[in-house]
């Protein structure tokens, strides 16, 4: 999509390198790395591996090139942080595997690439790195990776009562901000969360670098959440954060509606790189969108603008009392 809009000049792109096993071992168990590599090469998983490491399941499937893909996702996030340290804003949409655990796969995530981006900033000597997760699902793997590390502050805005069922409003500490929003959250409510909680928390922490996981599954029309955001709300949230921090990495994340996901991430790249949006998509871009298919999205659920525009119409709706109370409760805990 970015290529069809002529937004990918040669000097704007880098190829993600594959992280070597010794690099992966900084955050992942050696036995797990070896088992995943072996299973990927053999094309099969033993019952013992499936039980212990949780891959080879419907949630974490085995497929050709799995290890190379997962390791390159990590390599891309490391490279993105290195580029950000040079003063660039780096966008790595294939990243965002924020559920990956030290010794097992989780939620389509085999390694935890956002955590490697954070680690790259810390290796450079930075002392305040902010991680913000706007995926519909809580960024549990990254939170676990840096629990107790005062150099890292973690923020997650995610849907309440949604897998992995972590990050409740009661899970707060001076370096952790969890905002579990109710089902049906709208642009208006998201803006309130950003203005009253996330931005004040970030300002007080005064980060030297930022990693954002921008999952597209928080958007209206995604089959794996009940959030009702426009892509404009996510774009605004990411840009507000990036504009306030010297070095920024933005990675992808979840997204289970191909039309909303591609348009969200393409538009995000356009905004991050200062592109001019076309008044209407060129025919080859519309042809690309028209060629998508998904077993998770029924034809009667399709929105006309998914095929002919990058930007969604706004999803207003006011602010419900439960969102007001949630913000008040969390702000009180953090003194915001």
CA distance 267 to 246: 22
**Nearest to 210, CA basis, from 222, 198, 196:** 198
CA distance 240 to 229: 17
**Nearest to 163, CA basis, from 138, 195, 181, 143:** 138
Give me the catalytic one of 28, 92, 98, 99.
99
Q: Does the annotation mark 158 as catalytic?
A: no
Tokens of 274: 């200062």
Tokens of 65: 């090139």
Q: How many CB atoms lie within 10 A of CB 108?
A: 13
Residue whose pair of structure tokens reads 């980060």 in the numeric block:
207
Q: What is the maximal distance between C-alpha atoms in the chain?
A: 55
Alpha carbon distances (Å) from 166 to 41, 92, 197, 198: 33, 25, 19, 18
CA distance 210 to 232: 20
Point out the residues that are catalytic. 99
């Amino acid at each position: 999509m970015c290529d069809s809009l002529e937004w990918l000049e040669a000097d704007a792109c880098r190829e993600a390198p594959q992280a070597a096993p010794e690099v992966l071992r900084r955050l992942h168990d050696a036995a797990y790395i070896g088992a995943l590599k072996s299973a990927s090469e053999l094309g099969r998983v033993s019952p013992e591996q499936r039980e212990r490491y949780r891959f080879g399941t419907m949630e974490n499937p085995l497929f050709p090139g799995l290890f190379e893909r997962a390791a390159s996702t990590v390599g891309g996030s490391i490279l993105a942080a290195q580029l950000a340290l040079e003063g660039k804003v780096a966008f790595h949409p294939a990243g965002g595997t924020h559920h990956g655990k030290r010794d097992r796969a989780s939620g389509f995530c085999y390694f935890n690439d956002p955590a490697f981006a954070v680690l790259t900033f810390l290796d450079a000597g930075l002392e305040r790195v902010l991680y913000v997760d706007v995926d519909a699902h809580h960024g549990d793997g990254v939170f676990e990776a840096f629990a107790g590390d005062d150099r890292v502050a973690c923020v997650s805005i995610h849907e309440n009562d949604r897998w992995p069922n972590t990050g409740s409003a009661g899970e707060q500490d001076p370096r952790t901000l969890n905002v579990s929003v109710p089902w049906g959250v709208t642009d208006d409510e998201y803006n309130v969360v950003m203005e009253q909680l996330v931005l004040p928390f970030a300002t007080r922490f005064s980060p030297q670098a930022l990693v954002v996981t921008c999952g597209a599954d928080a958007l209206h029309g995604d089959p794996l959440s009940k959030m009702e955001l426009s892509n404009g709300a996510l774009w605004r949230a990411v840009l507000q954060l990036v504009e306030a921090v010297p070095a920024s990495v933005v990675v992808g994340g979840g997204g289970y509606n191909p039309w909303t996901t591609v348009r969200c991430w393409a538009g995000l790249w356009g905004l991050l790189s200062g592109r001019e949006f076309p008044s209407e998509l060129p025919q080859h871009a519309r042809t690309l969108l028209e060629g998508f298919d998904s077993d998770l999205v029924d034809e009667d659920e399709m929105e006309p603008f998914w095929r002919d525009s990058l930007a969604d119409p706004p999803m207003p709706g006011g602010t419900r009392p439960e969102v007001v109370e949630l913000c008040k409760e969390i702000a009180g805990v953090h003194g915001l």
